[in-house]
Chain A
Amino acid sequence: MSPEDGSILTAPRDQRQSRARLKLIDCDVHHALRSLRDLHPYLAQRWREHLDVYGPRGPVPFTGSSPYPKAAPALSRTDAWPPNGGPPGSDLEFLQKQLLDANNIEYGMLHLLAPSGMDQRNQAFGAALSSAVNQWQYENWTQKDKRLKAAIVVPGEDAAAAVAEIERWAGNPDFVQVGMTTHSIEPLGRRRYWPIYEAAARHSLPIGLHTSGYNGHAVSGGGWCSYYVEEQHNVAISQQAVAMSMVCEGVFEQIPTLKVVIVEGGLAWVPSLAWRMDRQFDRMRGELPHLSRKPSEYLRHNMWYTTQPSDEPERPEDLRRIFDWMGWDRVLYATDYPHWDMDNPGQSIKLRLTEAEQKMIYADNARAVYGLA
């Protein structure tokens, strides 16, 4: 029996007044299309037909599904299915009530997971899809609620098309970052992606790297894992690979003003990765003569990390040591609404935070990274 049986009589919590409290900037909010056909108005006839006849096709043989069972239908909280009959995240009004109003969210950073233009095998279609998604986000989300800020979705495997898409939207205050998938054809530090980073930096737009995409390789370097439980942590490992690639290839040396936000990869790994990279850098500096700084410095200067899914040490205070080491200004709060493993503001970080620390993590760090007023 589900709660939709009509036996629940009081108003749902999201329809009640939220208490006056800390304003929050949520760095990972998932909106969704009700149907791929929502993109029709934003696609040329040629690509509308392609979408309807062939549909999105990525590098793995899962077109409407995923290689791992995502624990809950649509990967979502069971209370997040909106009254419009579409999937979770597809109803603006419901998302406003359940997420933005209920949690006093000042800004929410939108990350659309599907369809991904960057994942398309047909690159021209990927470019058309990215453009359509951006126009759709603009008209249906960011223009309708100024709290919501979009990422310029780019077909990142085709740098020229990606740069064109950035140029199309840069300067529009509704778009505050550039969104790419993290499981790319080559590691994201490789030079084929640099024109995208240069364009982003030129417009002071961070690159938002939400864990996503299937490039045909196993998510970790350790082969295709058997269980979703493994995949959930493998994405954090893959984000470390992204960070290492960007540091070691010299992306930040070439583009010192580039900002990269790691989304949905956890963050307790940052100190360990930095220590290990620094050690090797000291021993084998000759291999990376193009780096003028220690790897840890790029990790603490050019990169930011979102909290969800929260690291939950048995002794919550251990997290303080990690934040101390990374720098408190690196930590950005994220809920991952409406996904089933979302974090609830005020509940997910078990560490006791001072008021100043709360302000940084829950809002001011993100405000600084994204240049929000």
Chain B
Amino acid sequence: MARHVVATAAEIPPGGRKIVTVRGREIGVFNLGGEYFALLNRCPHQGGELCRGTLIGLVTSSEPGRFDYSRPGEMLKCPWHGWEYDIRTGQSWCDPNDTKAKAYAVTVEPGETLARGPFVAETFTVSVEQAYIVVEL
């Protein structure tokens, strides 16, 4: 499994995202309050560009008439049919048993550990001063 530098840490602020191309695959990288997660930009339902969807929260209901809204910004809603996924895991909330958005491991690493390269996703010259987001694929 190769590791790919896809962005500087500063490039994706909390609540932000960036869609990158790694080995021909489009991957959305999300910053949830300082933690980074990556999902394939393809909805497993019908192939919509999932990572361009709206960020929403989790709605749960413990009884009829009561709705709880939690984890704002941690769920992703596909622009097409509105299927919702947990950005942290790729878990589908419409069809949790059979459907899962493909998730990738993400780390943030200081430039000096990466400078040996080669890291070619997009065209990054890795400098040692910054922190970088690395996707494993």
Contact = CB atoms under 8 A, between A and B. Distances in A.
Q: Do A and B bind each other?
A: yes
A373 interface: no
Closest 3 pairs (CB-CB, A-B): A79-B79, A3-B52, A347-B46
A8 B82 contact: no
A341 B46 CA distance: 11
Interface stretch (A70-78, A202-210, A221-229): A70-78
A8 B52 contact: yes
B81 A1 contact: no
A30 to B, nearest CB: 15
A19 interface: no
B12 interface: yes
Interface in B76-94: 77, 79-82
Interface string A49-75: 000000000000000000000011000
Interface in A326-341: 340-341
A9 B19 CA distance: 6
Contacts of B45: 347
A340 B54 contact: no
Interface in A1-25: 1-3, 5, 7-10, 12-13
Interface of A: 1-3, 5, 7-10, 12-13, 71-72, 77-80, 340-344, 346-348
B53 to A, nearest CB: 7
Given A71-B82, A344-B46, A78 B53 contact: yes
A268 B19 CA distance: 39
A71 B12 CA distance: 30
Interface string B24-61: 00100000000000000000011111011111000000
B17 interface: yes
Contact of A8 (B15, B17, B54): B17
Interface centre among B45, B49, B79, by most A CB within 10 Å?
A: B79
Contacts of A71: 82
A275 B113 CA distance: 71
B44 to A, nearest CB: 10
B79 A78 contact: yes
B21 interface: yes
Interface of B: 12, 15-21, 26, 45-49, 51-55, 73, 77, 79-82
Most buried by A among B15, B81, B82: B81
9 contacts: A3-B53, A3-B79, A7-B12, A7-B17, A8-B18, A8-B51, A9-B20, A77-B80, A344-B48
A344 B26 contact: no
Contacts of B49: 12-13, 79
A79 B48 CA distance: 9
Contacts of A342: 80-81
B15 A1 contact: yes
A94 to B, nearest CB: 14
Given A10-B26, A13-B49, A347-B47, A2 B16 contact: no
Contact of B16 (A5, A72, A79, A341): A5
Nearest to A7: B16
Nearest to A344: B46
Contacts of A5: 16
A10 B28 CA distance: 10
Contacts of B12: 7
Contacts of A10: 19-21, 26
A341 to B, nearest CB: 6
A348 B80 CA distance: 13
B111 to A, nearest CB: 20
A1 B73 contact: yes
A229 to B, nearest CB: 13
B54 A78 contact: yes
Contacts of A77: 48, 79-80
A7 B47 contact: no
A7 B18 contact: yes
Contact of B82 (A2, A3, A340, A344): A340
Contacts of B19: 8-10
Nearest to A4: B52
Nearest to A309: B81
A341 B54 contact: no
Question: Among A7, A9, A344, which residue has the most Cβ atoms of chain B within 10 A?
Answer: A7
